[in-house]
Amino acid sequence: MHIPFREDYPPRNDIVFSIMFGEMDLFSALLKSVTGHVLDADEVISQASVSPDNIEHNYIRFDTFAKDKNGTVYSLDLQNTYSELLIKNRTIYYACRSIGGQTVVKGNYDKLNKVVVSFIMTKKNKENTPIETIHLCDDKGNIYSELLTLHNVYVPAVKDSNGVEENLKIFSSFFSVNSEEEMKDFINSYSSTDLGEKLISSYSKSILRGDLKTIKEREYFDMKISEKDIMEAKMEAMEEGRAEGRAEGRAEGRAEGRAEGRAEGRAEGRAEGRAEGRAEGRAEERIKMLKQVVEKFKNIISIDTIIETFNITESERKILAI
């Protein structure tokens, strides 16, 4: 039996996702599984198909989206590489952009279209919850505005949970496929279901398209890849810095502790050593991360943009020579 799978374009690939969920039936099915909403729209806009010159849609920076006949904009967006802090800020930024990019005529803010964003996260969150729903609320928990709603779907948690809707479980199992063997398991488990059959068929067609490389070079996907690389560089540098800081802290702490005495001196030395080591490690990790970012993206985005994005200080600029 032929197993449809491409290592360079797995189901969780941004381009594959944009192509597949640019189809009305799959977009509607995933949206309903996440939000419970039954979509009533004429079309789904996909970043894999929309013209880069389409100014009307350029302010919406999500993989796929559709405007319901009641005016609400629903979007589905896949997220692969992220730290929780970075992804939270990114999701809010782009969700707000979907509101701020709308045209307001003569102060008619009541005419703004509601925006409902569903993010498909391929990693667990700290709480290991399947789905988070975020509303704009006041400090008493009352809805302040229904203009924006966010849904975060955590694929690993959904896959392992028994209390979620069956189709959402199938979707999560599909997004978890990362090898030919895993695709074979998915086919064996879900090809007999309507949704499983649709996913397998759509994926098979998507990875055979001859324009995948052309789509990948589009500004939207190029920027998303750049963001992914920046996040990976940040996360890698942060982890390296933490490890170095811990190592230096332990070494310095032990040295000072021995010099000051077995009991109190050792304890204080370790504490001071760890504190100094962490501080130095954080500073060094940041410089290392910034060097990687500047080197990787200096020919893609402007230095001013890099400085602004990463809040690079004057002293750091001197070290980095930018």
Could you tell me the two tokens for 19? 């192509």
Q: Which stretches of 122-260 are assigned E, i.e. beta strand? A: 131-137, 143-154
Give the global pTM. 0.68
**235-to-120, 171, 286, 306 alpha-carbon distances in Å:** 20, 28, 10, 17
User: pLDDT grade, residue 55 (50/70/90)?
Assistant: very low
**40-to-88, 121, 288, 318 alpha-carbon distances in Å:** 29, 25, 49, 55
pLDDT at 165 over 60: yes
pLDDT at position 235? 53
- Pick the range with the lowest mean pLDDT from 31-45, 124-138, 241-255, 293-307: 241-255
The rounded mean pLDDT for the chain is 83
How many residues in the chain?
Answer: 322
pLDDT at 14 over 80: yes
What integer is the mean pLDDT of 166-181? 97
What integer is the mean pLDDT of 77-106? 82
**302-to-58, 292, 319, 320 alpha-carbon distances in Å:** 21, 15, 18, 15
Q: Where are the domains of the chain?
A: 14-211, 221-320
Q: What percent of the chain has pLDDT over 70?
A: 74
Check if the beta carbon of residue 237 is closer than 8 Å to that of residue 286.
yes
Positive or negative torsion for Cα 195, 198, 201, 202: negative
pLDDT at position 59? 44
pLDDT at 188 over 80: yes
**250-to-238, 244, 254 alpha-carbon distances in Å:** 18, 10, 6
Helix or strand (DSSP H, E) at 314: helix 314-320
pLDDT at position 208? 95
Q: What is the pLDDT of residues 213-223, one digit of tens each?
A: 888 887 666 66
**178-to-8, 181, 241 alpha-carbon distances in Å:** 10, 8, 30
CA-closest candidate to residue 221, choices 4, 11, 75, 13 = 13
Helix, strand or coil, per DSSP, at residue 26: helix
pLDDT at 228 over 60: no
pLDDT at position 270? 63
According to the per-residue pLDDT averaged within each range, which of 79-93, 95-109, 305-319 is highest?
95-109
pLDDT at 118 over 80: yes
